[in-house]
Structure 1
Amino acid sequence: MNMLESLNAFNFTIFILFLLLYLYQIIYAGVVLCGRKKPTPEAKQMHRYGVIIAARNEATVIRELLQSIKAQNYPDGLVTAFVVADNCTDNTAELAQAEGAVVYERFNQLKVGKGYALDYAFKHIMKEYPEDWFEAYFVFDADNLLDPNYIREMNKVFDSGYEIITSYRNSKNYDSNWISAGYSLWFLRESKYLNQARMMCGSSCAISGTGFMISNQIVKANNGWKHHLLTEDIEFSVDSVLHGLKIGYCGDAVLYDEQPCTFEQSWKQRLRWSKGFYQVFGKYGQALVKRIFKEHDFSSYDMTMTIAPALFVSLFSVLINSLALLWTLFVQRDPEVLSVTLGAIIASVTNYYLILYAFGILTTVTEWDNIHCSAGKKILYTFTFPIFIFTYVPIAIEALFKKIEWSPITHTIAKSIQEIRD
């Protein structure tokens, strides 16, 4: 077998490996499209909730979130908003207090990150309120906005017995550019074709950054918030699955958040996410694999697929193809072989592009009415979506070797729910 045949065989093997590893996600799509979503029964009780918002210099957007919380179709006396003004140098705390939130100011330059801010809030609440005053807590980022029925819909799922629940994640600025649309389409797909499918199949869902609920019992058991890796959301999801907890999903509870618009900002954020996924895999990967084989737990397999193989297999594929190309360019120096080698690499990239495009167009079509931008942009961004995902490859490579610390993302888009829908 010559080098070209070996490269073709390698790329085909990697492609088939990806299909086998992620075949279940294709099945998930079929479940959502062909299955019947069971309506969530009305809640028997209106439960009491605390709302935790970690905010660092979020004066531009904090008021809109708090106003959307106050505008909820839910009894006012059963919802209390808490804002952790975390190392703020602006007037976030003052603005939050003016909107009626309970504000805790935190100044700690050593323990930096959302996880520490959440723990700070939970510790204060456990000291200042009766033990079971709040039955559960919502966790939001300061740039979020809530649909008026958000808490009412989440309350239905909580009342049905779930102790951890995530929600439908939409975006405030889908139409900003191809970068914000790339994020937005990914989160819409995650909500519709991962978490909804998981819920329909009885598997555990996964927390994605913001817009989730956690019961007071779990907060007490963890003595606050104990997850402090760079991606505390996926760490929490994995840890919950390992403890046999099932995360629920409420597709009728709609949250909007702001996506980065510049490539520099996006690179910085996704670099942290990539490093965080490596951290989670390093800390929990072995336990997940053991649970897969010992407990035959599909949720553990799902979480393993979420945090590890795609990045590592992609990086290995890029490395082998790059080495083959360099060999052809500088050692073999055969124009014909070079042409065929490039053709093999292009064919491999095209296959991945088409798979990603298929998921992008499927999500766009089914979520068309929930995407708030022009029809032309909706169509255009299905083509740029795979390119956005491809940019994860160099980011993942850098994350392998670079030391990364948590840093805030600046939010600048202050909109109301009405402005988004208009």
Structure 2
Amino acid sequence: MITTLFFSFILLAKIVILCLTLPGTTELFVLTIAALLQKKHPVINRSIRKSSLPRLIVVVPAHNEADGIAACITNLQSSLNQTTGCDLIIIADNCQDTTADIAEKSGARVLIREDKLNRGKGYALNYAFTRLLAENYDGFLVIDADSRINRQLIRDFQYAFAQGVDALQCRYRIANPEDSRRSRLQYIAWLAFNELRLFGREKLGVSVGILGNGFALNRTVLEAVPYEAGSIAEDMEYHLRLVAAGFKVHFLNTAIVSSDAPNQNTNAEVQRTRWEGGRFRLMMDHVPSLFLRVLRGQWRLLEPLAELLLLPLAFHVLLLFFALLIPCPLLQYYAITGLLLVVAHVMIAIRFGGGGFEEIKVLTTVPFYILWKLTLLPKLWRNSRKNAAWQRTDRENS
């Protein structure tokens, strides 16, 4: 009886681990190989006449950003000064501070939104887009209020749109990797999630995804697919609808938007559990329907489905380590292969992102980072069970 139960448990563990990790392992392998085969970066044609470049508006959703909104506007204005016909608008959404007043004094146009029932970044963006579509703009570029951009970013988006693309996502990086080991680990993770995988998708010719910051949509896209996404992971939710409607997001690798990673334990916990909880909520809500639609022949949804099935790397690695403990040689070989693939994926991401010895050295702390992530599971579960209100993450240095 005990032997039967033991083997039943082992069989169940094999099935669970394979179901949870095999789609992600396959996704990592395909995107890593595709990125390595990228012979050259996508080229922006800067010979296009400036007078024919599309008119863009930079949309900045802001919730209680009084401390940093002036610096954000100054940074964005330095990029806007390189363009012609582009504007800036701040959406002060359900703010309890002086965000709107400071933004106006800093020279920005401000749109104030008060809605205590429908709270969140997705609602704020939909509110802004709905109103701005009535104005003469060709494209809408979203930059978070806690971000900085390089000077040519807005101009590069103009050139890319002028070449006929529907939607764009630029590089999205951590600005302060040197502040702590956790910041540098997050920097490395973002090099993989926000850059290497986007290179791979661009090479494969599929939609690269939307990362919530540093993305832009043209008028045609927003008119066809309104930004009606109210979950915590509103960017991924909207991207699924975008791909289902037949649109594709391209990777604008020449432009970089960056923001600070929080270093205080509490702030870091809030950010991680909100992001990953929202992702798990999206998995529960959309994976079954996406799977059925792929089976019915909607192949363009296959890669978004695979991306959604790829767990955060910390949990993916933990499950592969568990697989090593199960007395099954084939499963153990699979686990070793999967772990080596993760290592290769991360190392290649560091190389693609221009990282060096400091990034490689901090990888020795990954086991402690995984243990920290495990302590967040109860909060992550709570964030995956309901849509959370828009909560600004403080980013004070330790």
Report how far residue 173 of structure 1 moved. 0.9
- Residue 203 (str. 1) matches residue 202 (str. 2): no
Report how far residue 83 of structure 1 moved. 0.5
Tell me the distance in 1 between the aligned counterparts of 2:63 and 2:332: 44
Q: Deviations over 1:72-121 (max 9, x none)?
A: 27654421111011222322212211222111122322221111211222
2:94 is matched by which residue type in structure 1?
N
TM-score by length of 2: 0.82
Report how far residue 248 of structure 1 moved. 0.9
Show the counterpart of 1:358.
344
2:280 is matched by which residue type in structure 1?
Y
Show the counterpart of 1:60.
67
1:254 is matched by which residue type in structure 2?
I
Q: Is the 8 A contact 1:205 1:248 kept in 2?
A: yes
Tell me the distance in 2 between the aligned counterparts of 1:243 and 1:55: 29
- Once the two structures are superposed, the pairs formed by residues 30-49 of structure 1 within 5 Å of their partners are 30-37=33-40, 38-42=42-46, 43=48, 45-49=52-56
1:41 is matched by which residue type in structure 2?
N
Q: Is the 8 A contact 2:143 2:214 kept in 1?
A: yes
Q: Deviations over 1:137-182 (max 9, x none)?
A: 0111101111111112222322222211111112211112122223
Q: Is the 8 A contact 1:360 1:382 kept in 2?
A: no
2:105 is matched by which residue type in structure 1?
A
1:359 is matched by which residue type in structure 2?
H
Show the counterpart of 2:184.
181
Taking a change above 3 Å as real, the CA distance of residues 354 and 261 of structure 1, as seen in their structure-2 partners, is: farther
- Provide the secondary structure at the position in 2 that maps to 1:175: helix
Tell me the distance in 1 between the aligned counterparts of 2:340 and 2:24: 17
**Aligned partner of 2:21 among 18, 23, 43:** 18
Q: Deviations over 1:268-321 (max 9, x none)?
A: 222222332233234432332133222351x4222122223537xx69x96xx6
- Provide the secondary structure at the position in 2 that maps to 1:40: coil
Taking a change above 3 Å as real, the CA distance of residues 302 and 178 of structure 1, as seen in their structure-2 partners, is: farther
Identity of aligned residues (%): 20
Taking a change above 3 Å as real, the CA distance of residues 9 and 115 of structure 1, as seen in their structure-2 partners, is: closer
Show the counterpart of 1:92.
99
- Provide the secondary structure at the position in 2 that maps to 1:207: coil
- Residue 274 (str. 1) matches residue 244 (str. 2): no
Q: Is the 8 A contact 1:204 1:247 kept in 2?
A: yes
Report how far residue 71 of structure 1 moved. 1.2
Report how far residue 396 of structure 1 moved. 5.0
Show the counterpart of 1:333.
none
Tell me the distance in 1 between the aligned counterparts of 2:70 and 2:7: 60
- Provide the secondary structure at the position in 2 that maps to 1:210: coil
Aligned residue-pair number: 384
Taking a change above 3 Å as real, the CA distance of residues 406 and 68 of structure 1, as seen in their structure-2 partners, is: same
2:392 is matched by which residue type in structure 1?
I
Q: Deviations over 1:327-358 (max 9, x none)?
A: xxxxxxxxxxxxx98xxx99999876654443
- Provide the secondary structure at the position in 2 that maps to 1:248: strand
- Provide the secondary structure at the position in 2 that maps to 1:112: coil
- Provide the secondary structure at the position in 1 that maps to 2:296: helix
Q: Is the 8 A contact 1:170 1:254 kept in 2?
A: yes
Q: Is the 8 A contact 1:361 1:382 kept in 2?
A: no
Tell me the distance in 2 between the aligned counterparts of 1:284 and 1:16: 16
Report how far residue 391 of structure 1 moved. 4.8
Taking a change above 3 Å as real, the CA distance of residues 209 and 277 of structure 1, as seen in their structure-2 partners, is: same
Show the counterpart of 1:112.
119
- Once the two structures are superposed, the pairs formed by residues 336-351 of structure 1 within 5 Å of their partners are none
Tell me the distance in 2 between the aligned counterparts of 1:413 and 1:394: 22
- Residue 171 (str. 1) matches residue 190 (str. 2): no
Show the counterpart of 2:392.
409
Gapped runs of 5+ residues in structure 2? Answer: none
**Aligned partner of 2:86 among 72, 79, 84:** 79
- Once the two structures are superposed, the pairs formed by residues 3-402 of structure 1 within 5 Å of their partners are 3=6, 7=10, 10=13, 14=17, 18-19=21-22, 21-37=24-40, 38-42=42-46, 43=48, 45-72=52-79, 75-126=82-133, 129-130=134-135, 133-223=136-226, 225-295=227-297, 297=299, 299-308=300-309, 310=311, 355-368=341-354, 377-385=358-366, 387-388=368-369, 391-393=372-374, 395-396=376-377, 398-400=379-381
Tell me the distance in 1 between the aligned counterparts of 2:337 and 2:205: 31
- Provide the secondary structure at the position in 1 that maps to 2:210: coil
User: Which structure has the larger Rg?
Assistant: 1
Q: Deviations over 1:347-377 (max 9, x none)?
A: 9998766544433332223323xx5xxx663
Report how far residue 258 of structure 1 moved. 1.7
Q: Deviations over 1:188-217 (max 9, x none)?
A: 112332111111221111111211001122
Taking a change above 3 Å as real, the CA distance of residues 9 and 289 of structure 1, as seen in their structure-2 partners, is: closer
RMSD over equivalenced CA pairs, Å: 3.8
Tell me the distance in 2 between the aligned counterparts of 1:262 and 1:169: 21
Q: Which 10-residue stretch deviates more, 45-54 or 281-290?
A: 281-290
Q: Is the 8 A contact 2:61 2:144 kept in 1?
A: yes
Q: Is the 8 A contact 2:82 2:155 kept in 1?
A: no
Tell me the distance in 1 between the aligned counterparts of 2:104 and 2:243: 37
- Provide the secondary structure at the position in 1 that maps to 2:199: helix
Tell me the distance in 2 between the aligned counterparts of 1:376 and 1:24: 27
Q: Deviations over 1:25-57 (max 9, x none)?
A: 223222322331242333453110111111112
